[in-house]
Amino acid sequence: MTRIVNCIKLKKEAEGLDRAPYPGELGKKIYENVSKEAWQQWIQMQTMLINEYRLVLVEAKARKYLEEEMEKFLFTDTSEPPAAFTPPAP
C-alpha cells in the first residue's frame, strides 16, 4: 500500500518514501514530511552541488555542507543552485 504524506517541499499530498533516507531525527523528519518526488529533486540538487563544488564526501566539512543544504532545500525556500550553474539548453 502506498503511503501518502503532505509534502512540505511540494506543498501537496504525494507518495511518501518507503523508509527514512537519512539517519537520526533529520531522517525521521524527512520520512514524515517529504515525498518521493521531492526527495528525487534533492538527489539531483545534491549531485549538482557535489559536481559543481567538487566536494569530497570523505571530508566532514563537505558532508556537513550537504546536510545543511538538504535541510534548506527540503524545508525552506532558501536553497539555490550553484552560482556558476547554467541549466542545459532544451
- Regarding the domain delimited by 4-75, which CATH topology (the fold level of the hierarchy) does it fall under? YggX-like (1.10.3880)
pTM of the model: 0.88
Cα 21 to chain centroid distance, Å, stands at 10
Each domain of the chain, given as residue ranges in start order, spans 4-75
- Terminal Cα distance for the chain, rounded: 37
Task: Give residue-wise pLDDT tens across range 11-23.
Answer: 999 999 999 999 9
Question: In the prediction, which pLDDT does 77 show?
Answer: 82
Question: In the prediction, which pLDDT does 83 show?
Answer: 78
